[in-house]
Structure 1
Amino acid sequence: MRVSINPAKKPSRGRPRIDSEAVNIRVERSLLDLLDAWIADQKDAPSRPEAIRRLLRAKLSVES
């Protein structure tokens, strides 16, 4: 007799679900160079996506 795996109890894989949306953009090399320089100045050296999120949060919270 075969035992099937209950999908309700199966552990999930990958990233946890959050309320977000992917945004794909093209960025000029000169701007990427500035972004990479900013990243190099950070103590924890965030990834480009994380750096962009931090910069957006910082800029938008000041203007809001």
Structure 2
Amino acid sequence: MVAMTVQPQLRKKPGPPATGKGTPVQVRLQPNILADVDAWIDQQPDPKPSRPEAVRRLATEGLISWGVRDPAKNA
């Protein structure tokens, strides 16, 4: 008799594949700021960005407008 090994099935995580780049940051937003972010998302063309993507884009735009980030490095 031959013993068989059962391989556990791995579950796929939802969302895009992880890049392994960047530092995760958790931010707590007050309801009025979150409403502003959601309103900005509603103004964006389809496909609309997720909340995390919206926060990344808004942070990048803010840093560029303040002269902290070079617009050429907008990636």
> So what's the TM-score if we normalise by structure 1?
0.69
Q: What is the alpha-carbon distance in structure 1 between the residues aligned to residue 53 and residue 44 of structure 2?
A: 12
| Percentage of pairs with the same residue | 36
Question: Cα 1:52–1:16, aligned 2, differ >3 Å: closer, same or farther?
Answer: same
Residue 62 (structure 2) aligns with = 59
Amino acid at match of 2:44: Q
Structure with bigger RCO (C-alpha 8 Å, 6+ apart): 1
* Residue 36 (structure 1) shift: 0.4
- Match for 1:49 among 49, 52, 56? 52
Q: Give the one of 25, 28, 31 matched to 1:29.
A: 31
Gapped regions of structure 2 (runs ≥ 5): 5-11, 69-75
Please give the TM-score of this superposition, normalised by the length of structure 2: 0.60
Letter aligned with residue 50 of structure 1: E
The count of aligned residue pairs is: 54
Secondary structure in structure 2 of the residue aligned to 1:49: helix
Question: Which stretch of the first structure deviates more once superposed, 47-56 or 15-24?
Answer: 15-24
